[in-house]
Amino acid sequence: MRLLKDKFLFLLILLLGTISWSLTMVKSGWIYSYGAGFWGPNGHDGIWHLALINHLAANNLNFLDMPVFSGEAFKNYHLGFDLFVAFLHQISGIPTLNLYFQILPPIFALLIGWLSYKLVLDFTNSKVQALWSLFFVYFGGSFGWIVTLLRDGMVGGESMFWAQSSVSTLLNPPFAASLIVLLAGIIALVRFDKTKNWKYLLGVVLFFGLVIEIKVYAGILALGGLGFLGVLRVIRDKNFTYLIASVASGAISFVVFKLFTRTEGSLLVYQPFWFLETMMALSDRFGWQRYFDAMMAYKSGGNFVKAIPAYAIAFAIFWFGNLGTRGIKEILVFRWIRDWKGFGVVETFLASVIVGGALIPMFFLQKGTPWNTIQFTYYSLFFSSILAGIVAGQWLEKNKNRVVWGTILVLLTVPTSFSTLWYHYLPARPPAKISTAELEALKFLKSQPKGVVLTYPFDRTAAEKAIANPPRPLYLYESTAYVAAFSAQPVYLEDEVNMDITDYNWKERRKKVLDWLGNLNQDEVKGFLEKNDIRYIYWVKPQRATLGETQIGILRIFENSEVDIYKINKSGLLAK
């Protein structure tokens, strides 16, 4: 009877978790009466990945060129997930749009849940602890909902303390994919520790070595965790096995990363405690202005006697605010600290990943988009979910009032997931769209021979004016890669946000386009198109240049109610 109950609970949590996670993705990309709708960050991040995937799947010789910054090679970005989806598209023929939004999300959600359950079961031999870990993995969230409830009388605040909650995992597919690889590696680590079978150690080396190309943050934490484990075992037991494994994983990471990723300069900058300061200062975060003013006064005045405890308290708010009910896992951490000499292999690895993921963003930010380094903390929170489940299971296994306390724990945990889905992903109308007319135009452009497309630079002022009337067309939503994504053509300049993250000099290129649009010199205008090998111009009405079509040397090849597409006319003839 107990076996059937455990199996039922496992399947129930797995099903509910998969559905709740998938709801953030599966509605996006479908065609509705207004066109294709996009919910949440799918209107930017999802479009970016589609641009990369469609470019990589195009089978052209320039597949490692940046599709939204024509003529330049990929750099400073991991392509593992996008290469994987491009490969799936090529062998299956399934449209990349459906693979990305409807097919892979539930598969990833199922795999993460199942592997999390298997990991805890292998580690603890307790189904109760494994079930609670599964619950926290799917539904763990911050305490932001308590703050918004007290302040505004509503449940919300998912990222009040900067990090996202579990329900948003699939919105970052490379993060979700990296969790699958990390979990597989840790399971192999557990099994090697128990059996000393070398095939499991080989799995550890491969999984931790390859994960860096899926998500750099995961690679850094995995290699750091394995390296720390290796050094500790050498010092404590004179056992070089894990150190050798960490070196082998590092070598694989180096080769894979160098093979597919070109890096230029450092993308990280040293700026300690930026997340703590902005969490306190910004109204869309925790927003405790008086506390922020005090922190900055202590810092600028060099009053370290007050600054150190002030920042320590801010970190505690950051950490436990993000953890929410998962904060109970600190009970297990205190036990580990008390018995540090008996630290096991898995405990050592998980502790180093959790600590590293929490501390790195406290000191380093990413160029262009500083808050991107908060993704290190996502891994800390994910593995804290697993540890929280172990603690909850241990406690409730011995508690006579386990049903009451278990119910209370569930009710305190799920509001964040519920509010995120209710306010952001369940509403019928999305914040962003591609209209039916634009989809028609982009489909036509996709059917044309390969060539660089010139688009109109993103107009943030116009976008802010359109914010009150959703769904906004993507060209009035954010600087996105939607022309590259849906036409599978390389674009001269798109998605300024990701160009910032990957450290391209997009501002200079944007200025050139704006100068070109207003230029009255016909020779210079035509010279710009020829110099940059531009073959098509995609304009949403009433976008246009100062000079007319004949003066620029372009010929309209497509027109509908919203879009004009032009082809460059060389010497009076269409370019071949």
SS3 per residue for 385-440: HHHHHHHHHHHHHHCCCHHHHHHHHHHHHCHHHHHHHHHHHCCCCCCEEECHHHHH
The residue type found at 499 is M
341: pLDDT strictly greater than 80? no
pLDDT at 573 over 60: no
Rg for the chain, CA atoms, rounded: 26
**Residues for the chain: how many in total?**
576
Task: Give the torsion through C-alpha atoms of 105, 111, 117, 118, to 10 deg.
Answer: -170
- Taking residues 72-99, what's their average pLDDT? 92
pLDDT cut 70: percent of the chain above it: 95
Residue 45 has pLDDT above 60, yes or no: yes
Whether residue 393 is predicted with pLDDT greater than 50 in this model: the reply is: yes
pLDDT in tens, 343-353: 789 999 999 99
Residue 574 pLDDT exceeds 70: no
pLDDT at 335: 86
pLDDT at 506: 94
- CB-neighbour burial class of residue 387 (10 A; exposed 0-12, middle 13-18, buried 19+): buried
Q: How much is the average pLDDT of 179-183?
A: 97
Residues 297-302, mean pLDDT to the nearest whole number: 93
- pLDDT higher at 39 or 335: 39
Cβ-in-10-Å burial (0-12, 13-18, 19+) of 3 comes to: exposed
Q: Across all residues in the chain, what is the average pLDDT?
A: 92
The predicted structure's pLDDT at residue 576? 38
Residues 261, 213: contact at Cβ < 8 Å? yes
Half-sphere exposure of 58 (CA within 13 A, CB side): 27
Distance CA 492, CA 480 (A): 13
Mean pLDDT of 50-60: 88
Please name the helix (run of DSSP H) or strand (run of DSSP E) that holds residue 52, with its range, or none. helix 45-56
Which two three-digit tokens encode residue 200?
């499991």
User: Looking at residue 78, what is its pLDDT?
Assistant: 84
Q: Is 336 helix (H, G, I), strand (E, B) or coil?
A: helix
Cα 346 to Cα 15, 190, 336: the distances in Å are 28, 6, 11
Say if residue 59's pLDDT is above 70: no
Taking the mean position of all CA atoms in its chain, how far away is CA 400?
41
- Provide the pLDDT for residue 286: 95
Tokens in use for 381? 């929170």
Please tell me the predicted confidence (pLDDT) of residue 264. 64
Residue 3 has pLDDT above 50, yes or no: yes
pLDDT reading at 572 higher than 50: no
Place of tokens 């380094």: 373
Kindly tell me if the per-residue pLDDT of 95 is higher than 90: yes
Over residues 133-153, the mean pLDDT reads 95
Given a cut of 70, whether residue 61 has pLDDT beyond it is no
CA distance 162 to 377: 9
Q: In what order do the strands lie in the sheet with 35-38?
A: 31-32, 35-38, 432-434, 472-473
Residue 258's pLDDT band, with cuts at 50, 70 and 90, is: confident
* Residue bearing the bigger pLDDT, 8 or 4: 8
pLDDT of residue 512: 96
pLDDT at position 256 is 86
Confidence (pLDDT) at 266: 66
pLDDT tens string 465-504: 888 888 999 999 999 999 999 999 999 999 999 998 888 9
pTM: 0.94
